[in-house]
Amino acid sequence: MNIIHFNTYLSGGAAIAARRLHEKLVQYNIASSFAHQPCADSKGGATYMPLFPAGGLRDLAYKLMFKIPLKPSPYYYLSNRPKGYEPFSFPVTQYKSFFDPRKLNADIINLNWIAEWIDYPSFFASIPDSFPIVWTLHDMNPFTGGCHYSWKCEKFKTGCNSCFQLNEKRNQRDISFRFSKIKRAALAGKSIHVVADSHWLESQARASTIFKNAKSFQTIHYGLDTKIFKPKDKAFCRKLLDIPESSFVICFGAHNIDNKRKGFDLLKKALAIVSPSYPVYCLFFGANQIDSMSNLGPHKYVGKLSSVDIQTIIYSAADLFVIPSIFEAFGLTALEAMACGVPVVGFNIGGIPDMITPHKNGLLASPADAADLADKIIYMIEHPKERCEMGQKARNTVTENFSDSLQAEKYIRLFETILAG
């Protein structure tokens, strides 16, 4: 069995999840390789391969064609678009992505997060219709007209147009309409098997028009190496971070803290309710520090985490991890915190309920309700014994249901089933 995974980047949430699966398959003696966009600092190793380099006159022509905000350039609809959303990604690029998997003796392609890298028309046209493609979804972009989360919009079910994430020039035939059409045409007749990282994301993919002819759908949750993600001594971790040992520590982190979808504004509102009666110490990590953190009282911002060891120290220093995302396909940070024995509070949305069972390993608040989020945080503060029990059960939840071995075994069974016809 020879598997080739595709992911645009080597870092970021989707890349981390995809690489963990790839490297676990290698441990299982599966012939697995990882294709990615060429980058200056590739630390992948022998099983990693950069593909589809850009540059030269074609790259310059692309920039001139796509990045000048004049019609029919896509940037005509992107200049001065509403702030706070993920990038709006194109299914076409400045270079062709021709790829014949048979030349590498591949049996299955496993696509992951391929935005901003793969040119859909050339890539899928070069792959035989009968060749099996597993598409592991990390967000909604593969089945939308360009957004990565549609928020409350459901146009992806019938065909995108007049996208609210574009600027005021949006219309019935804007780039969301054009890109949705390009994706449908590129995938027509292909042997696509969709894997989502949560039941919510699977349900969204099943309802989409772009994946209406997919061969199969299923959910396979992310998995963690629980020998690495495990609790560390809380007092020792707090000493390393110079956090008072007696503090009640709330942890929050995201790849980009200022991403509107990650809900930091809602967390601030919740903490404003909690803090007057229950002083807390906030521990934050991620890129793009927000200036308004200074209004939160005692806190520490540790920036972007560079290693798993540092991650486990940060998680283990906390009494509670809060994931206030407004929309979330899964929530890998919450799972990592749980593996380190920390209970989680989050909104009852997306893939978060796949991990959290209320009063077992955490609590769920009403979606986007800062006051209810505050109530759940206060409950955790006021019930220390139950909170500690939830932390222990959070760890058990991960070891029993979200290990990297279990994830790899589910993928292997899927690959074997597909190859068996």
Domains in the chain (CATH in brackets) are 2-223+404-419 (3.40.50.2000), 234-401 (3.40.50.2000)
Residue 330: predicted pLDDT: 96
Cβ of 366: how many Cβ atoms within 10 Å? 14
C-alpha to C-alpha distance for 155 and 161, rounded to whole angstroms: 7
Does residue 65 carry a pLDDT above 80?
Answer: no
pLDDT for 181 equals 97
pLDDT band at residue 275 under the 50/70/90 scheme: very high
The stretch 64-79 carries a mean pLDDT of 74
Residue 294: pLDDT above 80?
no
Take residue 420 and report the two structure tokens written for it: 């068996």
What's the mean pLDDT in 172-181?
96
**pLDDT above 90 for 66:** no
Least confident of 37-46, 132-141, 232-241, 295-304: 37-46
**Average pLDDT of span 205-222:** 98
Q: How confident is the model at residue 68 (pLDDT cuts 50, 70, 90)?
A: low
**396: Cβ contacts below 8 Å, ≥ 6 apart:** 361
Judging by beta carbons within 10 Å of its beta carbon (0-12, 13-18, 19+), is residue 235 exposed, middle or buried?
A: exposed
Q: Is the pLDDT of residue 107 over 70?
A: yes
pLDDT-above-70 percentage for the chain: 92
Computed on alpha carbons and rounded to an integer, the radius of gyration of the chain in Å comes to: 22
Residue 59's pLDDT is 62
pLDDT on residue 60: 65
The length of the chain, given as a count of residues: 421
For residue 57, what pLDDT band results from cuts at 50, 70 and 90?
A: low
The structure's pTM equals 0.94
Distance of CA 355 to the CA centre of its chain: 15
* Residue 292 pLDDT class (50, 70, 90 cuts): low
Residue 304 has pLDDT above 80, yes or no: yes
Task: Check pLDDT > 70 for residue 69.
Answer: no
Where is pLDDT greater, at 420 or 56?
420
- Mean pLDDT value across residues 199-227: 98
Pick the residue with more confidence: 56 or 171?
171
Q: What is the mean pLDDT of residues 21-26?
A: 97
Average confidence score pLDDT of the chain: 93
